Amino acid sequence: MFDDALLDDESALTRADGVLRDLAGCGARVRLDAHTAQEAIGSLVGDADQRPRAVVAVGPAARLVRAVLEPACPVPFVAWPGPGLPGWAGSLDLVVALGAPDGPGVHAAAAEAIRRGCPLLVVTVATSPLAEVAASRWTTLVPTATADPLAVAVVTIQALAAAGLAAPFETEEVAQALDEVALSSSPYVDLGTNRTKQLASSIGDDVPLLWGGSVLAARAARRWAEGLRRASGQAALAAEADDIVAVLDANPPRDLFADPFEDPVASRPASALVLLDDRVEAPSVRIDRGNILGAAARHGARHDEVFAGEGGDLARYASLVATGGYTAAYLGIGLGR
């Protein structure tokens, strides 16, 4: 059972100090990696005449980079799950390998890029195995100081912007968004005013259903679900609007007067709906949001809305993901894990 008293309990918070410190350092890691990569990024000069035919990104954060760049990239951008590379990739195509952290799939893709003569942009720690595997005359190494997936993604987008394949953006804006979440979600901020503690308390004994309307908000919802599952050891679902509505419609209406000892249906965990809003206004997002809230109202399902901070696409995404990280941490604390 979830015990919200643990969220302000000094001993319980001390036991989770490592997790909370790691979350608080996200902004610092973005700044550190951006500083470490500054010289290498400065050497990348965008030239329209030397643009690749396409960009193939590989690695754990490749889909995030694609989601940010695909609408504005002047050439086709593919996030390839591997193994290897797509059959059409060749010497006219840029391969971007993100080592966050390194894995055999990324190593195989880098080796395949070298074999095919593809220009290779590698963003990883300079002493990592990926940097060694990917070394070649066609390789450009953009070194980072950490293997934080979000920080590596930020550096990668910054490098591609310098090469003329993405719109310029401020790294500090992303770091500042992470810092703002860290301050408002600090363990020293009590339950009464700490939004992430309140979110953890609201879903503590229920099954979280997570939805984000835009591409980046939907990706943030998946990161939330992964974190909540790890923290609680229980189910958490991030899905499209139609699937969320189907789950809500399959649940019986909540009966506030049901006796969980007499009614086995009432003893089952209820659904707790969390909507992630990254401030993208689109007709399809408004329609899906209305359908989900309508289904929640029909069945008496509780719902919370989480709004991203201000800034560009990546800063708003970072804000949502950081909020989910703290919510998952406090969920684990409240469950005594």
**142 and 230 housed in the same domain:** no
pLDDT tens across 89-111, in order? Answer: 999 999 999 988 778 889 999 99
Q: Splitting the chain (337 residues) into consecutive groups of 10 residues, what average pLDDT does each group show?
A: 90 93 96 95 75 93 92 92 89 93 87 95 94 92 94 95 90 96 95 94 91 94 95 92 92 61 58 91 92 90 91 94 96 91
Range of the domain at 56: 28-168
The candidate with the shortest Cα–Cα distance to 131, out of 93, 94, 169, 102, is 102
Yes or no: say if 122 and 139 are a contact pair by the CB < 8 Å rule: yes
Taking residue 279's Cβ as centre, other Cβ atoms within 10 Å add up to 14
**118 and 214 housed in the same domain:** no
176 located within any domain: no
147 located within any domain: yes
Question: Which CATH number belongs to the domain containing residue 99 in this structure?
Answer: 3.40.50.10490
**191 and 294 housed in the same domain:** yes
3-state secondary structure at position 47: coil
Domain count, the chain: 2
User: What is the predicted pLDDT for the residue at 299?
Assistant: 84
> Measured between alpha carbons, how far is 273 from 303 in angstroms, rounded to an integer?
4
User: What is the predicted pLDDT for the residue at 252?
Assistant: 66
**192 and 329 housed in the same domain:** yes
145 located within any domain: yes
181 located within any domain: no
User: What is the predicted pLDDT for the residue at 291?
Assistant: 94
> Measured between alpha carbons, how far is 92 from 245 in angstroms, rounded to an integer?
45
> Measured between alpha carbons, how far is 334 from 185 in angstroms, rounded to an integer?
15
180 located within any domain: no
User: What is the predicted pLDDT for the residue at 259?
Assistant: 59
**12 and 35 housed in the same domain:** no
**90 and 159 housed in the same domain:** yes
Read off the DSSP letter of residue 234: S
Provide the whole-model pTM: 0.91
User: What is the predicted pLDDT for the residue at 257?
Assistant: 59
pLDDT tens across 180-213, in order? Answer: 999 999 999 999 999 999 999 999 888 999 999 9
**89 and 128 housed in the same domain:** yes
User: What is the predicted pLDDT for the residue at 191?
Assistant: 93
**10 and 61 housed in the same domain:** no
pLDDT, the chain, mean: 90
21 located within any domain: no
Dihedral angle sign, alpha carbons of residues 278, 280, 281, 287:
negative
User: What is the predicted pLDDT for the residue at 169?
Assistant: 87
Q: What is the DSSP string of 229-274?
A: HHHHSS--EE--HHHHHHHHHHSPPP-TT--TTT-TTTTSPPEEEE
3-state secondary structure at position 127: coil
**83 and 59 housed in the same domain:** yes
**127 and 204 housed in the same domain:** no
